[in-house]
């Protein structure tokens, strides 16, 4: 049996994807469309068809990147937005003492800008970085993992970090290819888009969602259900 205290206050870690999850649309794809046209999609599709991921295609996409930091920020301001209920979800996590962090295989420039715009800049995040030197853009991936080798930021590493930090319950929320590595390792998984299709193909249990209004509505019961499953496991021992 789990004890009464952990029933009341489970130590929940929430790992949340950024593009198309915390943000309404995929901001990186929007920026690539805006500054490169649609030719970049072929580069990505070719890499994916070969079983490769972002460590292969990201340096190619940004090789002759035509925009400055300021030009990117301007387009981010014009075209990108957080899910309208995401700030409410952040507040919900805080009220309940849940640890929330963003795990992104996108870029720091727009994550930082959009979070700051909503006064959410204290949410920790990991992502790739775009660095400008002598007017040229370069991609750095400080959260690459040797054990994966495919993702610029292998998000499974953050699930493992949560386990090392003795998280009671790890919740993962995502929508895309870069969320596949962590998908099977969380206790509760919210999935939409490509990630949901991947979960269905691979028999990974997932809660479908459309947006953060859904996540807010479904979250309390998801955690309660997880706690009940622990109690059942405990009583069967």
Q: Which does 181 bind (CB under 5 to 8 A by kind): Mg ion, Zn ion, none?
A: Zn ion
Q: Which does 175 bind (CB under 5 to 8 A by kind): Mg ion, Zn ion, none?
A: Mg ion
Q: Enumerate residues 47-106 that contact Zn ion by CB under 5 A.
A: none
Q: Is residue 177 a contact point for Zn ion (CB under 5 A)?
A: no
The enclosing H or E element of 233 equals helix 212-236
Q: CB neighbours (10 Å) of residue 171?
A: 26
C-alpha to C-alpha distance for 5 and 23, rounded to whole angstroms: 35
Q: Enumerate residues 151-210 that contact Mg ion by CB under 5 A.
A: 175-176
Which tokens hold the place of 12?
A: 């929940």
Minimum gap (Å) between residue 213 Cβ and Mg ion: 18
For CA atoms 207, 211, 214, 215, give the dihedral sign.
positive
Q: Which does 32 bind (CB under 5 to 8 A by kind): Zn ion, Mg ion, none?
A: none
Beta carbon nearer to Zn ion, 76 or 103: 103
Q: Which does 24 bind (CB under 5 to 8 A by kind): Mg ion, Zn ion, none?
A: none
Among 58, 154, 170, 199, binds Zn ion (CB under 5 A): 154
Max intra-chain CA distance, the chain? 64
Q: Which does 176 bind (CB under 5 to 8 A by kind): Mg ion, Zn ion, none?
A: Mg ion
Among 102, 170, 181, 191, binds Zn ion (CB under 5 A): 181
Minimum gap (Å) between residue 51 Cβ and Zn ion: 12
Minimum gap (Å) between residue 27 Cβ and Zn ion: 20
C-alpha to C-alpha distance for 172 and 186, rounded to whole angstroms: 6
- Measuring CA to CA, which residue among 89, 99, 116, 83 is closest to residue 12? 99
Q: Enumerate residues 12-41 that contact Mg ion by CB under 5 A.
A: 17, 19-20
C-alpha to C-alpha distance for 154 and 148, rounded to whole angstroms: 7
Contact 179, 188 (CB under 8 A): no
Beta carbon nearer to Zn ion, 23 or 55: 55
Contact 201, 181 (CB under 8 A): no
Residues in touch with Mg ion (CB under 5 A): 17, 19-20, 175-176
């Amino acid at each position: 049996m789990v004890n009464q205290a952990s029933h009341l206050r489970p130590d929940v870690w929430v790992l949340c994807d950024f593009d198309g999850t915390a943000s309404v649309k995929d901001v990186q794809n929007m920026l690539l469309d805006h500054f490169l046209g649609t030719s970049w999609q072929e580069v990505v599709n070719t890499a994916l068809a070969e079983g490769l991921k972002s460590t292969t295609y990201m340096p190619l996409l940004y090789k002759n990147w035509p925009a400055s930091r300021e030009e990117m920020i301007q387009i981010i301001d014009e075209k990108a937005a957080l899910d309208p209920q995401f700030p409410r979800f952040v507040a919900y996590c805080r009220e309940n003492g849940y640890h929330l962090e963003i795990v992104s295989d996108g870029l720091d420039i727009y994550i930082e800008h959009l979070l700051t715009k909503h006064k959410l800049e204290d949410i920790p995040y990991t992502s790739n970085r775009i660095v400008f030197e002598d007017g040229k853009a370069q991609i750095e991936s400080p959260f690459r993992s040797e054990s994966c080798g495919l993702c610029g930021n292998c998000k499974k590493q953050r699930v493992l970090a949560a386990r090392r930090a003795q998280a009671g319950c790890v919740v993962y929320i995502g929508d895309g290819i870069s969320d596949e590595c962590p998908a099977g390792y969380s206790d509760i998984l919210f999935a939409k888009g490509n990630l949901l299709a991947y979960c269905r193909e691979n028999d990974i249990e997932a809660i479908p969602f459309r947006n953060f209004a859904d996540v807010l509505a479904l979250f309390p019961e998801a955690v309660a259900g997880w706690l009940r499953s622990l109690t059942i496991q405990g009583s069967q021992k």
